[in-house]
Copies of this chain bind each other. A is one copy, B any other.
Amino acid sequence: MRPDTPQGAETVADVGEFNLIRRITESRPQPKSTLLGPGDDAAVVAASDGRVVASTDVLVEGVHFRFDWSSPEQVGRKAVAVNLADVAAMGAVPTAVLVGIACPSATAAEVVDELSKGMWHEATRARVGVVGGDLTESGNLVISITALGDLRGRAPVTRGGAMPGDVVAVAGQLGFSAAGLAVLGRGFRSPVSVVGAHRSPEPPYAAGPQAADAGATAMIDVSDGLLADLGHICAASNVAIDVRTDLIEVHQRLVDVASALGGDPRHWVLTGGEDHALAATFPDPAGVPPGWRTIGTVTRGTGVTVDGGPYAGPTGWQHWR
């Protein structure tokens, strides 16, 4: 599913590892947090409060993305976004990413250029540096991203601190990526609002530290689907969560797409992954910060319910299952 390398196009083998690294890193501006950028054995990144937050993800062509559905530039943006969202979900401000790209030697060098352009695009949007990486040969295209972040004195917000009586709130879009996937799966390319959300989600990075400052007791990045990810909070916090559908806004765009394709927009919102919204629990309903929408409550017990009962339908995604 890799775009065929056009006849005569320059391949990564033609350009060579060192030249390619040079051309995707040269003259890229770095933020102040990048104390030493690419080009040496390792990078040096500011970690102002004496701690660093770190998360890693691996994205595989044909599993996590398809080049017939997304351009290399969009894949690059997404690869960085999904990982920065994990850092934000701890309450940290993202500071840097490191990137590994493994690809066949016949890959067009332009694919790597475009992947890299997308990575820099999203990194710049989040004000972080691409501080290092590795470029190597592989049978299929695999992207690994590690994101770093700075808590700036905050306690990390884990999945394990939710308490009965807390409210549950979300920041960012839900269901758009799943709707986009459904559209692409039917062979369509629009509407752009949902297809674009699937190709290059834009997680609400600032909402993470904002939630931490507002006293969030638990927080998670919604990557597997809202109910599945709230389930992770329940398991880690030893609590139950009830989601109230009357509090969940289903965007008109999702209603329209669902109506055209015959899907259920609420199902996308509840179970669709990859939007990389943030979900968090707050002790005080009045303390839920601006931009966050309350969608449910934390109670004693285990597991996630919807309107007080079990939700019928698939609730997440595990690899190899």
Contacts and interface: CB of A to CB of B under 8 A. Distances in A.
B58 A53 contact: no
B142 A87 contact: no
B319 A136 contact: yes
A248 interface: no
B96 A54 contact: yes
| Chain A interface size, under 10 / 10 to 19 / 20 to 34 / 35 or more | 35 or more
Interface stretch (A12-20, A163-171, A173-181): A12-20
Contacts of A60: 102, 136-139, 142
B146 A44 contact: no
A65 to B, nearest CB: 12
A80 to B, nearest CB: 13
Interface in A39-54: 39-54
B156 A36 contact: yes
Contacts of A41: 55, 86-87, 89-90, 159, 219-221
A64 B86 CA distance: 29
Interface stretch (A67-75, A126-134, A304-312): A126-134
Q: Which of A131, A136, A318 has the largest count of B CB atoms less than 10 A from its CB?
A: A136
Interface string A1-35: 00000000001110011100000000000000001
Contacts of A52: 44-45, 47, 52, 148
Contact of A51 (B46, B58, B99, B221): B46
A35 B51 contact: yes
B100 A58 contact: yes
Contact of A318 (B16, B42, B54, B59): B16
A204 interface: no
Given A41-B86, A54-B146, A142-B142, 14 more contacts: A42-B89, A42-B147, A43-B55, A45-B51, A48-B50, A49-B50, A52-B52, A54-B54, A56-B144, A57-B134, A58-B138, A64-B136, A144-B144, A144-B146
15 contacts: A16-B318, A16-B320, A18-B318, A40-B156, A40-B158, A41-B219, A41-B221, A42-B86, A52-B148, A54-B96, A56-B144, A57-B134, A59-B136, A63-B137, A105-B319
